[in-house]
Structure 1
Amino acid sequence: MASLPGAHGVFVLLLTIVALYLFTRDRLPLEASGLTILIVLLIVFELFPYEADGVRLVPTSFLSGFGHEALITICALMIIGTGLEVTGALQPLAAGLAKAWNAKPKLASLATLAISGILSAFLNNTPIVVMLLPMLVGVALRNKLAPSSLLMPVGFATLVGGMATTIGTSTNLLVVAIAADLGLEPFEMFDFTVPVLLVGSIGVLYLWLVAPRLLPEREQPLSDRAPRVFNAMLHINDASKACGLNFAECLSLTSNEMRVDRIERGEGLAVTKLPSVTIGAGDRLAVRDTPERLKEFEKQLGAKLYSETGLEDIADASAAAEQQFLAEIVVTRGSLLHRGTLTSTRFAQRTGLIPLALHRAREAGSEEISGNIETTRLRAGDVVLVQGTRAQLESLKGSGTALVLDGTTDLPTTHRANRALAIMS
């Protein structure tokens, strides 16, 4: 009969539960959660030593795993995969699949599954899914299909393909390395390939022909093509048409279609939205609407969607209207903007783009956007509406530091793409 775990074993189990809970908290970074758990583990085993068969467990042995060759290999593959993702090295392949989807969707579906599986045998599946995600979602929207009917089979295909080699998945790498540490005969890279080909080919056919029919039809938020509603600030200056008018007259300039959440004056002073309140230079109107209507309100009021203060060093900030474009930038985990603000990251100065508005999806527990968007702390999933020239947008796309959703041109491959492919090979 197996013995019950001792005090140290119970503590580790409880600490594991705490770790899983912390990993589900979006407000707490995963890095902070992991580091906290590790520190607690080291402190407890230092203060309350654990001995087995007269041998004391040294707490620093918990850190030895960071130097394990399997973990180093996993990190190296993730770095290479991220390099392929941000340089756009795989975008020509995605573009070719997109054309195939337009011509022969059924065969393109099989090709997508097969290519995803093959690539996953040598790459982390994350960059593969990231590469195919925009294309597959677009195909689903154009053909009025549930995105899950395309995305889930591709996701499973990458898992099947990852089992074909010893480097295909993190689990494979760890198991192979641990088996070698235990003295077992080491596995070669392609020892798993033949059985995976036999079973995986059947699995791919199942994912191609059967799985999409079994998945339930879900009405996805992505199927709503209505433009996003953004929070923005209209800055009134001396030359604005609204300067000197009362609030009611200001609304009449927009045919009373502009929705104003609040009026700010000076350093964050809120002014009551009375019809008789006079709008003066320096006032800011907090509004919410679609990008097109925000630009329309800007023109009708003669205001600016951005503060001219601090933009003196931005090239092309006052370029002609016909040279300016609107684009939407998604804040992703690990990006420059994640958990920062537009001001602290010097986004405008770095990119030359002018942030105009901010969209945040309404979720349970999500914080409402209040105050100036430039000082709002951004989180993953936020969408920033920016204005700039085509060259500035292309430069941001090419840098690989942000996900741009303007849809005016295809995402370009950068000059580092060939270098990323060479490193992978």
Structure 2
Amino acid sequence: MAIPELPNYHALAMLFITVLALYIFRRDDIPLETSSLAVLVILCLIFTVFPFDIAGKHLEPSSLFFGFGHEALVTVCALMIIGHALVRTGALVPVGRSLAKLWKISPTLSLLITLIIAGTLSAFVNNTPIVVLLLPILTSVAIRTHTDTSPMLLPMGLATLVGGMTTTIGTSTNLLVVSVASDMGLPRMGMFDFSLPAIIAASVAIIYLWLVAPKLLPPRSGSLPDTSPRLFSAYLNINEDSSANGKKVSEILKMTDDQMTIESIQRSPDYRNIMPLPDTVLREGDRLHIKDNPEQLKEFESVLQATLFSGAHKVDDDHPLNAEKQKLAEIVVIQASELVGRTLRDVQFAKRYGISVLALHRDGKAMEIGRRSIGNVVIHTGDVLLVQGDAEQVAVLKETQGVLVIDGASDLPYSQKAPMALVVLFFVIGIAAVGILPIAISSICGILVLLITKCLDWSEVSAALNSQVVLIVVASLALGSAMMQTGGAEYIAQLFVALAFDLPPGGIIAALMLMLAVLTNIVSNNAAAVIGTPIAISVATQLQLPVQPFILAVLFGANLSYATPMAYKTNILVMNAGGYQFSDFIRVGLPLIVLMWISLSFLLSWLYL
């Protein structure tokens, strides 16, 4: 078949912007929100400066804003809020506790059950809270049994992605594909309309993740390498002969090259606490409360010619430093956190929570910064903070909005509102599944119930919303609509058909799915799905074949985000917690993509053609 002629200039512009969008969406140095907004602005400017009219039809630039009120975006946001309620109330904790008990009996069987539960829950709930629920459980199992977390965490994370593609509400990608197809005049798919091929393929994937994937993964050390404390709390007693005696706090800090941080000053004779202000003059008998590693503490003792105490004893060979109740934990920063876009110093993190930050992990690696400099680093969504504090302080942090504590040694939070949150979830899913209400309306009703029953408040509702998701969906919908109306999508479809002309219909479906699978591991899966949907419809129309299998090829292909850690946000969480490397995702994810691609391609041809 001959290569089609080039389309009109507007369609060519849309193709160029599509390539540009896929490139900037992938750039780590440009916030995804900024990239998405830039695409939306460029589209509006093009159709304002260069109006597009074809067959008497004028494309209004303002019509490209339709994504902000699109049913798919409303549903995605509503389900994010409901998922946030499940996390905040601890509604899924009973599942976690039962799994923790089962792991003590049979690890092999427990891994299979964990994968099945993770996949099943992800079919109805955003997979982020599922991963957050299971990470501390599996980490705790590894610590208590002295085994490696590597064979557990990555298979579990991928199982949630596999399960998410089995229903229309399993992922935002599914919702977008179904909604865009409906907007283009196709019958709307029900919640379980494509569950049969998805469940069959998911079953094959679960068996692979259970029996094969753990054997492909080498031993890895998580970003929390051990449970021993790193910092020690101690007191420097200012003696008569101390070089700090009679000096200001600012002066003694310079003597330590600003390496010492004074938590408080205890002043004799009653040892009341006073603030360590820069102009505070130290005198004999003062005790400086400091916290640092043993080497630094001994260095401060020497420089200030003071006496180092731990508790009531002078630090020596008979009375070493004692960390008492200090414990380590990992804190994952999520999009709802006030930390995102700010520094720890800006929010006075250490002072507010009484927690010391030891290290910062980003993209699976510890950042090469000194502990003193961590407070000046701008925090990103997905960053993992290695922190140390009292058990009580870590427990308080668990209740803090916007951070998730991955601490295998402690219990998960559970509140009295948890049953109500679960009832709301079943209500939302149930009435949508039987067709009483569309999922967009039932999910909005669910949020109202959560607010009335005080499972959530408005601050938590706003915190649950992800500006990245909102803007990438809006920009992708606008770009997809512009491509369709200008003929850009039709041209890509003609080009695709010409290249795949010699393939049978099943082969064309397989090629389309493979193209989306490659794309989704490089750029946003939502962008790939929205751009791919009109192309799939055009391909099916030109070939005069049923449209549904081509739509599902896009939906399934855009969900095959297994081969890179940046392909999906939960991949980053798992990468940090398990200490995985990029190669681990390729080692396990590529075979899984091939397995799912072959299974789904066969099933779509068998069931729909």
TM-score (ref. length: structure 1): 0.70
2:347 paired residue among 331, 345, 356 = 345
Aligned with 2:257: secondary structure? Answer: strand
Contact 1:15 1:37 in 2 (8 A): yes
Do the aligned partners of residues 139 and 20 (structure 1) sit closer, same or farther apart at CA in structure 2, a change above 3 Å counting? farther
Deviation at 1:408, TM superposition (A): 5.4
Q: Contact 2:334–2:404 at 8 Å: present in 1 too? A: no
Over 3 Å counting, the alpha-carbon distance change for 1:209 and 1:358 in structure 2 is closer
Contact 1:49–1:57 under 8 Å retained in 2? yes
Q: Deviations over 1:60-83 (max 9, x none)?
A: 222112222122112211221122
3-state SS in 1 of match to 2:333: coil
Partner secondary structure for residue 186 of structure 1: coil
Partner of 2:396: 395
CA contact (8 A) 2:334 2:402 kept: no
**Aligned-partner Cα distance in 2 for 1:123–1:30:** 24
State the Cα deviation string for residues 75-119 of structure 1 (Å, max 9, x = none).
211221122223322122112212211211111112112111221
The answer for the alignment partner of 1:189 in structure 2 is 191
Equivalent position amino acid for 1:412 in 2? P
Q: Aligned equivalents of 1:264 and 1:236: distance in 2?
A: 17
Say which SS state the counterpart of residue 149 (structure 1) adopts: helix
What is the Cα deviation at residue 59 of structure 1? 1.5
* SS class of match (1:399): coil
Distance 1:139-1:299 versus aligned 2 partners, 3 A rule: farther
2:34 to 32, 35, 39: 32
Rate the CA distance shift 1:216–1:46 in 2: closer, same or farther, 3 A.
Answer: same
Change (3 A) 1:296 1:360: farther
User: 3-state DSSP class of the match of 1:413?
Assistant: coil
Structure 1 pair 9–33 and aligned structure 2 pair: CA distance change class (3 A)? same
Which residue is equivalent to 2:243?
244
Please, which of 93, 96, 99 is the counterpart of residue 98 of structure 2? 96
Aligned-pair CA distance for 1:288:
11
From 257, 263, 266, give the equivalent of 1:263. Answer: 257
The CA distance in 2 between the partners of 1:6 and 1:141, in whole Å, is 62
Asked if the contact 1:324–1:389 (Cα under 8 Å) also holds between the matched residues in 2, the reply is: yes
The answer to whether the 8 A contact 1:146-1:217 is kept is no
Give the 3 Å change call, closer, same or farther, for CA 200–362 of structure 1 in structure 2.
Answer: closer
Output aligned runs, 1:228-307, within 5 Å: 239=238, 243-244=242-243, 263-264=257-258
Percent identity between the two aligned chains = 38
Task: Give the letter for the 1:264 counterpart.
Answer: D
How far the C-alpha of 1:24 sits from its partner, in A, is: 4.0
Could you report, residue by residue, the CA deviation over 1:274-298 in whole angstroms, capped at 9, with x for unpaired residues? xxxxxx969xxxx9975x7667878
Q: Distance in 1 between matches of 2:190 and 2:133?
A: 29
Aligned CA distance change for structure 1 residues 322 and 373 (closer, same or farther; 3 Å)? closer
Alpha-carbon contact 1:323-1:389 (below 8 Å) kept: no
8 Å CA contact 1:236, 1:281 repeated in 2? no
1:236/1:242 contact within 8 Å kept = no
RCO greater where, 1 or 2, for CA within 8 Å and sep 6 or more? 2
Larger helix proportion of the pair: 2
Q: Structure 1's 417 and 25: CA in aligned 2 closer, same or farther, altered over 3 A?
A: farther
Per the alignment, do residues 106 and 327 of structure 1 end up closer, same or farther by CA in structure 2, a change over 3 Å counting?
closer
Q: For residues 207 and 323 of structure 1, do their structure 2 counterparts lie closer, same or farther at Cα, with a shift above 3 Å needed?
A: closer
RMSD over aligned CA atoms reads 4.5
Structure 2 CA distance for partners of 1:6 and 1:130, relative to 1, 3 Å: farther
Amino acid at match of 1:239: I
- Compared with structure 1, are the counterparts of its residues 406 and 27 closer, same or farther at alpha carbon in structure 2 (3 Å cutoff)? same
Residues of 2 paired with 1:241 and 1:13: CA distance?
78
**Equivalent position of 1:70 in the other structure:** 72
Conserved? CA contact 2:135–2:406, under 8 Å: no
Which residue of 54, 78, 92 corresponds with 1:52?
54
**Secondary structure in structure 2 of the residue aligned to 1:341:** coil
How far apart are 1:421 and its partner, in Å?
2.0
Q: 1:212-263, CA deviations, whole angstroms, 9 ceiling, x for partnerless residues?
A: 33x2425445484386978x9x9998838995179xxxxxxxxxxxxx9970
> Please, which of 146, 154, 157 is the counterpart of residue 155 of structure 1?
157
**1:325 CA drift (Å):** 4.3
Query: Does the C-alpha gap of structure 1 residues 261 and 368 become closer, same or farther in structure 2, counting only changes over 3 Å?
Result: farther
Name the aligned partner's letter for residue 257 of structure 2.
I
> Helix, strand or coil for the counterpart of 2:169?
coil
C-alpha distance in structure 2 between counterparts of 1:156 and 1:385, whole Å: 27
Of residues 31, 42, 45, the one that matches 1:43 is 45
User: Which residue identity is paired with 2:83?
Assistant: G
What residue identity is the alignment partner of 1:207? Answer: L
Q: Distance in 2 between matches of 1:18 and 1:190?
A: 35
Structure 1 gap segments, 5+ residues each: 247-259, 267-279, 305-320
Letter in 2 for 1:333: I
Tell me the amino acid that sits aligned with residue 35 of structure 2: S
Verify the 8 A CA contact 2:237 2:307 in the aligned structure 1: no
> Aligned pair in 2 of structure 1 residues 371, 39: CA closer, same or farther (>3 Å)?
farther
Q: Structure 2 counterpart of 1:114, which letter?
A: I
- Consecutive unaligned residues of structure 2, counting only runs of 5 or more, are 246-253, 261-280, 284-289, 310-321, 427-609
Query: Do the aligned residues in 2 keep the contact of 1:81 with 1:124 (CA within 8 Å)?
Result: yes
Letter of the 1:263 partner, please give it: D
Q: Equivalent residue for 1:207? A: 209
Distance 1:74 1:241 in 2: 66
**How far did residue 130 of structure 1 move?**
1.9
Residue of structure 1 equivalent to 2:544: none
